[in-house]
Amino acid sequence: MDLLRAIFIDPFAQMIGSPDLLAQTIWEGFVGGVLYALIALGFVLIFKASGVFNFAQGIMMVFAALTLVGLHEKGVPAWVALILTIAVMYALAVGIERLVLRPLVNQPDIILFMATFGITYFLIGLGELVFGGNPKSMITKELFLPGGSIDLHIPGGRVQLQKLDIAAAAVALIMVAGLALFFQKTRIGRALRAVADDHQAALSVGISLNQIWVIVWFTAGVVALATGIFWGARSDVSFALQVVALKALPVLILGGLTSVPGAIVGGLIIGIGEKLGEFYWGPLLGGGIESWLAYIIALAFLLFRPQGLFGEKIIERI
Amino acid sequence: MGSAREGRDANDTFAKLLRSHVAERGQRPAFRHKDFGIWQTWTWAEVLEQTRAIAQGLLSLGLDRGDTIAVAGANRPRLYWSMTAAQMIGAVPVPVYADSVADEIAAVLSHSEAAVIVAQDQEQVDKILSVRDRLPRLRHLLFDEPRGLTDYDEPSLHALEAIMAKGRAALSDARLAAALDRRIDEGVGADPSVILYTSGTTGRSKGVVLSGERAIAAARDTVAFDKLTDRDEALAYLPLAWVGDHYLNYAQGLVAGFCIACPESADTAATDLREIGPTYHFAPPRVFEALLTRVEIRMEDAGALKRWLYRRFMAVAKRCGEKIANGERVPWSARLAYRLGDLLIYAPLKNALGFSRIRVAYTAGEAIGADLFAFYRSIGLNLKQLYGQTEAFLFVTAQTDRAVRSDAVGPPAPNVNLRISPDGEVQFKSPGMFVGYFREADKTREAMTDDGYVKTGDAGFFEPDGQLKIVDRAKDVGRLKNGQMFAPKYIENKLKFFADIREAVAVGDGRDFVTAMINIELASVGNWAERNNVSYASYQELAANPQVCAMIEKHVDAVNRSLSEEAMMAGAQIRRFLILPKELDADDGELTRTQKVRRGFIASRYAPLVEGLYTGASEASIAAEITFEDGRKGKLVGTSRIVDMAPFPRTKDACAA
Amino acid sequence: MSGEILLSVDDVSLSFGGVRAIADVSFDIRKGEVRAIIGPNGAGKTSMLNVVNGFYHPQKGEITYRGRTRARMKPHEAAEQGIARTFQNVALFKGMTTLDNIMTGRSLRMKRNIFWQALRHGPALDEEIKHRRVCEEIIDFLQIEHIRKTPVGALPYGLQKRVELGRALAMEPELLLLDEPMAGMNLEEKEDMSRFIVEANRLRGATIALIEHDMGVVMDLSDRVVVLEYGRKIADGVPDMVKSDQKVIDAYLGAGR
């Protein structure tokens, strides 16, 4: 009886009792969710355009952040380092298209999936070789990212918002809006949607798959860089960070592999659900549930809506 | 015709009116047309320039005062301008229904003795060329859209564009420009302004001649009646040749100076309506009905929350929407609920239908169902009824903003004298009334009373509040063998108010009892079939389905109940009915171009079915060779089940009568 | 019919695994003509189109287009050279609107500056307007104004076929490959489609290679007909000649009855 009470009554009583704590928890979950969404977005973009489930997305995030910080450590000014990192991500996209995708075109999906494992280990090796394996801290100040926090007064108390988190949310929002606009309104965007829709037809109107692949991988790389900067700023920049990328998996289960809105909404659900679970129900289980709760949320959701949030039916392609 | 001299002023022709708009509002938009996906706009000044170019071009082709110029096609700015251009040079425009088959066009063109025809496109040109040998007076054929016409080898065929260029070049000569202005000045209001051919519900179509001053006088009255100004905007999507379009768009537009928008094509009219958002609108009841059917089908497919909101707030609208529209007292709680409903449902719905900005909307042409009418009124659309005729230049009666009802058509329009003859026929004298039928003086005499009233041929009576109620065509009102009055249209309309019934034909004159033949509405019955897993491949299959038949039987029963409650009609309940195995179609001559049933024609084509209705058989078959209007031959084969109905007893009121 | 040769296929053979789809086929297409490719099902007609536009690479034989003999050409390179096509089972971008589908046909004609594209400003915007105009003319030509903003996945089959033709026409192709443009259409739709094909050929100057099963249509529309059976060419010539060829009657018309 007590256990039921502790599960079904107490947490909600707590939420209502101190709305400021609730708001604080939701905010933190929201920021985490936004970053999960960005990672998932990278997966979705690549999957849509090339049918490849990109296992390396998490590592691309770390690699991008590492390159940025590493270049700065070697004495390159922050903004030059940023531009150089973007250039590196472009070179990476071109390299992957030339050396991995092009030779493997028309191979079964599983081969391409395995190839992304290769990319993962290649990037880990390359990163350690060039920049060393020690954890580094993100160059937030040099990138003019704000520090400190602001207090927001709400009925029932106050919520503390880290300025960095606000910036993360804002950047994520701008990126998503920018991408949406790009895909809806430009020729490249139209070509990209065409490729995602029907490869053969896209080829017949003269859309070059190779060009589209470079663009998509590069875009995913830039998204990875943005994610890496903010995750890096919250903890350290090291290869341990790639486990964060695993959080994208439940997001994808929830949102579907091909749905951009799915990735965003799924990311927010996982982010907020995970924080609420940890804060209100975590103590019951002795804490530490954050690492697996996301999967439980996703699986529970699938029980009721097997086709995922926005219902596209391509899940069997994994 | 003494009234023709009254109220004469400087702008007694449409050509002069156009000129006056340039002086008063030259830079205001006058016409719009969506072309290549973009709305093109012409100001009044530009319209005058274009129209003058056409007029001068027509002169260069040798046209002169008194000639007739036919115009065939959809609503296109240049076709409207061609009409004004004809009026400028003193010629008489004759708009022709764009969907007429070649024979119909030939009939109108040869009767009106048209010297020139302005056709919209290849389709119209092809039709005219196919009957060219029957039109010795036709000198030139102009076309607006050159597509597909470039390699036609026909010396009398010209691009309107080229004729306009010629006209423009000529007008750069100041003397010619002045001569054209003089020509416009010389035109007088008593000249024929336009010839509108009636749609031919009753026999061959006749050319109704209207004069400029009368047309303008009538339009002025109604523009003032509905307070239309140059800020209004209308979508011109009705057939050019129909009096409704010529009145509501052409005449009222040129009098009030409002902007007329022409849709991209007939298929896009609904989208264009949404994009333009007219403030003044007309649609026949069947269009409103089709829209409502579409809304309801979409609501069936919508999510649960949306559906619930829709049902919830449509109930609110039904309870108090009309009262609020009519300015009656309504409790504040209901007002609040209505406001909320407006925010959540009515406004978005009106927006989706393109009705957001409408100030005044009219419907006419046939009876409108009470529920249908109430639906639009209750969501805040100022929908009213009018009763009109080509011979009146449309308005005979019109409802005022605050006294609107669905079962009557309103009091006489401004300056209209209206009376009911002793034998029940509606007769009128109006400011816009016609001058006569073109080249048919005897028919003109037949249509008028000795004291100058126009006989409408409609049977009707005045309601206590002064609104006119139309029962049927006077000549269609018949009697059963026992002397009971039989008004077929009245019964058919009651049937057609059910969304499942598209058309109905009532039979009974000179018979023992009333029977009906029914066309089901494919959109709504088909949707019902889909939802109930009834599979069907064609109209015919669906019409023969016993479940569909049972559904229609319920509707017929409801009609009988309502008839039993009316003193005059209780004896004319439907005793037997069947569902027609074929959809009635204007292309097959079963409906008129304005979609009215041709009762006599249908009765003879479907004679074996009618026979079955009166022999007591439980089903009837038809197998006949029929010739369609365009000369094709086809087979009409089908079997219909015949259903017997039990009549309701007369209610007490009815017994007293 | 004395136009220069636009495309010639010489001794082409194509097989998948052990199965021969095309065996030593040669024929040519002259500039400005409507060339029909007919034959019973499985005769290798679609494979032939796939070879021409670079989806398949033949194991043997040569293809000469505009006087240049090519080794391996990729589909998007074929498109760049002015070869457009439609597909037997309609390959449209189902999630996109009619207008967007047709706009993809302009892909190659737009400049490639991604940065202007991204900003959607300046030259890119002017360019977009210019190409939109071309697409609107095609929409007008095919009379599909009413479905301009409808996602094509929701359209009936006949209209989808029309949109697909529109997308191919938007490429302003020199050679247009049509794979059964009238399959599954009713009489009226076929008449419309025939008219569009004739006008695309006469007014828009596209040379057309056409696979079609409706013999009436083929005989009406085409200048010359090549007949395939089991991957081999069995006849080639003007419609009247092909119609009376005994081999064709046996193989194709006989089999079709």
What's the ipTM? 0.84
| Strand segments (E) across C152-196 | 175-179
Residue in this structure with the two tokens 């065409």, named with its chain if needed: A194
Q: Which of C83, C96, C107 to mutate to test the interface with A (most CBs of A within 10 A)?
A: C107
Nearest to A53 by CA among A283, A252, A270: A252
Nearest CB to C117 within list A188, A208, A209:
A188
Q: Does residue C118 belong to the interface with chain A, where contact is any CB pair within 8 Å?
A: yes
Q: Which of A174, A187, A209 to mutate to test the interface with C (most CBs of C within 10 A)?
A: A187
Nearest CB to C80 within list A186, A191, A206:
A206
DSSP H or E stretch at residue A96: helix A78-96
Domain positions in chain C are 1-82+174-257, 92-172
Mean pLDDT, range B494-499, rounded to an integer: 86
pLDDT in tens, A161-175: 888 889 988 998 898
Mean pLDDT, range B78-82, rounded to an integer: 97
Name the more confident of A179 and A317.
A179
Closest-CA distance, B387 to chain C, in angstroms, reads: 33
List CB contacts (< 8 A) between C146 and chain B.
264-265, 267-268, 271
pLDDT-wise least confident of B232-246, B338-352, B490-504: B490-504
Domain positions in chain A are 46-145+160-246, 249-318
Name the more confident of B636 and B89.
B89
Tokens of B311: 């049902």
Nearest to B122 by CA among C195, C222, C162: C195
**CATH class given for the domain over B476-656:** alpha beta
User: CB distance B36–C199 less than 8 Å?
Assistant: no
Mean pLDDT of chain A: 84
Give the whole-angstrom CA distance, residue C101 versus residue C78.
19
pLDDT value at A315 more than 50: no
DSSP H or E stretch at residue B418: strand B417-420
Q: Which residue of C lies nearest to A201 if distances are taken between CA atoms?
A: C91
Give the whole-angstrom CA distance, residue A294 versus residue A247.
7
Closest-CA distance, A184 to chain C, in angstroms, reads: 10
Q: Which residue of C lies nearest to A180 if distances are taken between CA atoms?
A: C118
CB-based contacts of B362, cutoff 8 Å, min separation 6? B248, B281, B282, B383, B384, B385, B386, B398
Nearest CB to A186 within list C53, C118, C168:
C118
pLDDT in tens, C88-110: 888 999 888 999 999 999 888 77
What number does CATH give the domain B2-279? Answer: 3.40.50.12780
Give the whole-angstrom CA distance, residue C27 versus residue C233.
9
pLDDT value at C257 more than 50: no
Q: Does residue B36 belong to the interface with chain C, where contact is any CB pair within 8 Å?
A: yes
User: CB distance B267–C140 less than 8 Å?
Assistant: no
pLDDT value at B522 more than 90: no
Nearest CB to C171 within list A182, A200, A205:
A205
CATH topology of domain C1-82+174-257: Rossmann fold (3.40.50)
Chains B and A touch (3+ CB pairs under 8 A): no
Please say whether the beta carbons of A136 and A238 come within 8 A. Answer: yes
pLDDT value at B93 more than 90: yes
pLDDT-wise least confident of A311-315, B91-95, C144-148: A311-315
Nearest CB to A208 within list C76, C104, C171:
C76
Q: Does residue C148 belong to the interface with chain B, where contact is any CB pair within 8 Å?
A: yes
Nearest to A262 by CA among A270, A254, A271: A254
Q: Does residue C133 belong to the interface with chain B, where contact is any CB pair within 8 Å?
A: yes
Please say whether the beta carbons of B353 and B384 come within 8 A. Answer: no
pLDDT value at B249 more than 60: yes
pLDDT value at C118 more than 60: no
Return the SS3 of A109: helix
B285-356+358-472 and B2-279 share a CATH fold: yes
Domain positions in chain B are 2-279, 285-356+358-472, 476-656
Q: Can you say how many angstroms the Cα of residue B606 is from the centroid of all Cα atoms in its chain? A: 27
Closest-CA distance, C197 to chain B, in angstroms, reads: 13
The dihedral of CA B488, B491, B496, B501: what is its sign?
negative
Compute chain C's Rg from CA coordinates: 19
List CB contacts (< 8 A) between C139 and chain B.
36-37
Q: Does residue C173 belong to the interface with chain A, where contact is any CB pair within 8 Å?
A: no
Q: Does residue C72 belong to the interface with chain A, where contact is any CB pair within 8 Å?
A: no
Specify the pairing of strand B233-235 against strand B259-262: parallel
Closest-CA distance, A14 to chain C, in angstroms, reads: 46
Closest-CA distance, C196 to chain B, in angstroms, reads: 11
Q: In which band, very low, low, confident or very high, does the pLDDT at A317 lie, cut at 50, 70 and 90? A: very low
Specify the pairing of strand B436-437 against strand A149-154: unpaired
Closest-CA distance, C148 to chain B, in angstroms, reads: 9
Measured CA angle at B123 (ends C203, B198), to 5 deg? 165
Q: Which of A204, A211, A314 to mutate to test the interface with C (most CBs of C within 10 A)?
A: A204
User: CB distance A206–C79 less than 8 Å?
Assistant: yes
pLDDT of amino acid B537: 82
Q: Which CATH architecture is the domain B285-356+358-472 placed in?
A: 3-Layer(aba) Sandwich (3.40)
Buried b / exposed e across C56-94, counting CB within 10 Å, b at 16+? bebeebebebeeeeeeebbbbbbbebbbbbbbeebbbbb
User: CB distance B36–C137 less than 8 Å?
Assistant: yes
List CB contacts (< 8 A) between B265 and chain C.
143, 145-146
Across B160-164, B533-537, C70-74, which has the greatest mean pLDDT? B160-164
Q: Does residue C145 belong to the interface with chain B, where contact is any CB pair within 8 Å?
A: yes
Q: In which band, very low, low, confident or very high, does the pLDDT at C112 lie, cut at 50, 70 and 90? A: low
Nearest CB to B36 within list C136, C149, C203:
C136
Closest-CA distance, B263 to chain C, in angstroms, reads: 11
Residue in this structure with the two tokens 């015949």, named with its chain if needed: B642
pLDDT value at C179 more than 50: yes
Nearest CB to C145 within list B147, B148, B264:
B264
Q: How far is residue C85 from each of residues A208, B26, B213, C7, C179, measured CA to CA in Å? A: 16, 50, 60, 15, 8
Share of chain B above pLDDT 70, in %: 96
Write out C20-49 in H/E/C secondary structure: EEEEEEEEEEECCCEEEEECCCCCCHHHHH
Closest-CA distance, C47 to chain A, in angstroms, reads: 14
Q: Does residue C56 belong to the interface with chain A, where contact is any CB pair within 8 Å?
A: no
User: CB distance C146–B265 less than 8 Å?
Assistant: yes
Q: Which residue of C lies nearest to A197 if distances are taken between CA atoms?
A: C93
User: CB distance C96–A182 less than 8 Å?
Assistant: no
pLDDT in tens, B250-304: 999 999 999 999 999 888 898 899 999 999 999 999 899 889 988 888 888 877 8
List CB contacts (< 8 A) between C129 and chain B.
none
Cβ count near A262 (within 10 Å): 24
Give the whole-angstrom CA distance, residue B320 versus residue B308.
19
pLDDT of amino acid C28: 93
pLDDT in tens, A63-121: 999 999 999 988 889 889 999 999 999 999 999 999 988 888 777 888 888 999 899 99
Name the more confident of A189 and C251.
A189
Q: Does residue A175 belong to the interface with chain C, where contact is any CB pair within 8 Å?
A: no
List CB contacts (< 8 A) between A86 and chain C.
none
Name the more confident of C41 and B69.
B69
pLDDT value at C33 more than 90: yes
Closest-CA distance, C242 to chain A, in angstroms, reads: 31
φ/ψ (deg, to 5) at B593: -65, -20
Return the SS3 of B644: strand
Nearest CB to C117 within list A186, A197, A209:
A186
Q: In which band, very low, low, confident or very high, does the pLDDT at B58 lie, cut at 50, 70 and 90? A: very high
Nearest CB to A201 within list C92, C110, C120:
C92
Report which DSSP code applies to B650. P
